[in-house]
């Protein structure tokens, strides 16, 4: 079971890294290097991993609470996820958001569709619009993938046995019987003669 958590975390981080790379590639000049369908492929993979992570986290949160669950996130993983998301956000800020409408191509002619209003554009503008669209959506996918890795790591820690809670308590060592003639001031039966003693009895075993 622990291996499935680790594989889930690794896949989510890998997808987040690939998404950040895709966002970075949209900043390169010229035509888009990746087809437009790349966005839909990343969408399907992201929601598959994020949905599974949500189920794991929900199951763990029912036993320990959502607030405590999120506080169990490993610091290194949080930093790694933050770096990936931050890189995608920086690329989004540098490249800009999509504007002017959704890019379309019909009969070899390029358009931007803004709520049904078609505006004819050049191939270069069409390509930049596709890259801006991909940059915007894949940035969100980067965040979801990175967050999925953090959720799975929290669920993994919540499911792991608590070494403090599950370690059996050690029994105190049995008291050694007092040798004959040695001080014997405990209240109760003498270890040697079996006679009952009290705080006012003789301090030495009568045997």
Report the candidate in 132, 134, 47 with the shortest Cα–Cα distance to residue 95.
132
Flag the least confident range among 52-56, 77-81, 146-150, 170-174. Answer: 170-174
The pLDDT tens digits of the residues spanning 15-29 come to 999 999 999 999 999
The pLDDT tens digits of the residues spanning 48-103 come to 999 999 999 998 888 787 778 888 889 999 999 999 999 999 999 999 988 888 88
Euclidean distance between CA atoms 64 and 60, whole angstroms: 7
Euclidean distance between CA atoms 45 and 109, whole angstroms: 32
Instruction: Say if residues 191 and 178 touch (Cβ distance below 8 Å).
Output: yes
Question: Which residues on neighbouring strands pair with residue 109, listed in sequence order?
Answer: 106
Q: In this structure, what DSSP letter does residue 189 have?
A: E
Whether the predicted model's global pTM rises above the 0.75 cut: no
| Residue ranges per structural domain of the chain | 2-98+127-166, 177-207
The pLDDT tens digits of the residues spanning 175-200 come to 555 555 555 544 555 555 555 555 44
């Amino acid at each position: 079971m622990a291996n499935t958590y680790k594989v889930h975390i690794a896949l989510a981080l890998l997808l987040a890294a690939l998404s950040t790379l895709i966002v970075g590639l949209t900043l390169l000049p010229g035509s888009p290097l990746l087809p437009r369908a790349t966005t839909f492929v990343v969408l399907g993979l992201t929601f598959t991993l994020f949905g599974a992570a949500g189920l794991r986290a929900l199951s763990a949160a029912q036993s320990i609470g959502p607030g405590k669950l999120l506080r169990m996130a490993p610091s290194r993983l949080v930093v790694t996820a933050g770096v990936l998301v931050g890189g995608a956000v920086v690329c989004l800020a540098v490249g800009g958001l999509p504007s002017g409408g959704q890019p379309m191509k019909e009969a070899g002619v390029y358009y931007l569709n803004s709520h049904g209003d078609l505006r004819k554009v050049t191939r270069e503008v069409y390509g930049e619009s596709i890259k801006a669209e991909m940059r915007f959506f894949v940035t969100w996918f980067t965040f979801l993938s990175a967050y999925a890795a953090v959720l799975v790591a929290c669920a993994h820690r919540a499911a792991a046995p608590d070494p403090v809670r599950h370690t059996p308590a050690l029994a105190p060592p049995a008291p050694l019987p007092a040798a004959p003639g040695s001080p014997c001031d405990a209240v109760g039966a003498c270890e040697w003669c079996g006679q009952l003693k009290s705080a006012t009895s003789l301090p030495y075993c009568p045997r």
